[in-house]
Each structure stands twice: as structure tokens, then as C-alpha cells.
């Protein structure tokens, strides 16, 4: 294998590995307020109290908090993709 191909393959693998870590990183620093506004902007008919409660639960971070957050939002019929992304994207808002 040529050195150029090795470098390209190694950098592509590294990019994929870091991309996965970056996708999960915002969950730990997401704010309840950012989550709340993200949910209501994308699903205006969501129950505001349920969204607030879910976002407060998820603010603790970690897998358990994420699962509780997700199930609370799904219980209010928030679409699965939106519920999953609320935690990850809240830090950007």
C-alpha cells in the first residue's frame, strides 16, 4: 500500500473516531433552558411542563439521565429523532 493511501486511511479512521466522541460530548454540557427551547421550537404543540421536566432531568448528564430524558419526551409523543437530538443540540442554542 502506498504511503499516501495509508495516511488517507488513517486520517479517515481518526475522523470517524473523533466524530463519534464529539457527537456525544454536548450531552454533558447541555443546559435545561437550551433543551426546552429546542424542543418547543421543533414541536410547538409539545407539553411545556413535560419538556421542562425532561430537560431538568437530562441536565445531570450521563446515560441514565439521557434515557430518562428521552422517555419523558417520547411519552409526550415528541418524535424519536427530536427527543434524541434535544440533549445533543441544546448546547448549541
Give the closest residue to 85 by CA, choosing from 38, 52, 32, 18: 38
- Tens digits of per-residue pLDDT, 18-57? 454 444 444 444 578 888 888 999 999 999 999 998 888 8
Rg (CA), the chain: 17
* pLDDT-derived band at 5, boundaries 50, 70, 90: low
Amino acid at each position: 500500500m502506498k504511503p499516501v493511501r495509508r495516511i488517507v486511511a488513517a486520517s479517515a479512521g481518526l475522523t470517524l473516531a473523533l466524530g463519534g466522541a464529539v457527537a456525544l460530548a454536548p450531552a454533558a454540557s447541555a443546559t435545561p433552558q437550551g433543551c426546552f427551547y429546542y424542543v418547543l421550537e421543533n414541536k410547538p404543540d409539545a407539553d411545556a411542563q413535560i419538556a421542562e421536566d425532561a430537560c431538568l432531568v437530562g441536565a445531570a448528564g450521563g446515560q441514565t439521565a439521557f434515557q430518562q430524558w428521552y422517555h419523558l419526551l417520547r411519552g409526550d409523543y415528541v418524535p424519536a429523532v427530536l427527543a434524541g437530538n434535544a440533549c445533543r443540540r441544546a448546547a448549541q442554542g
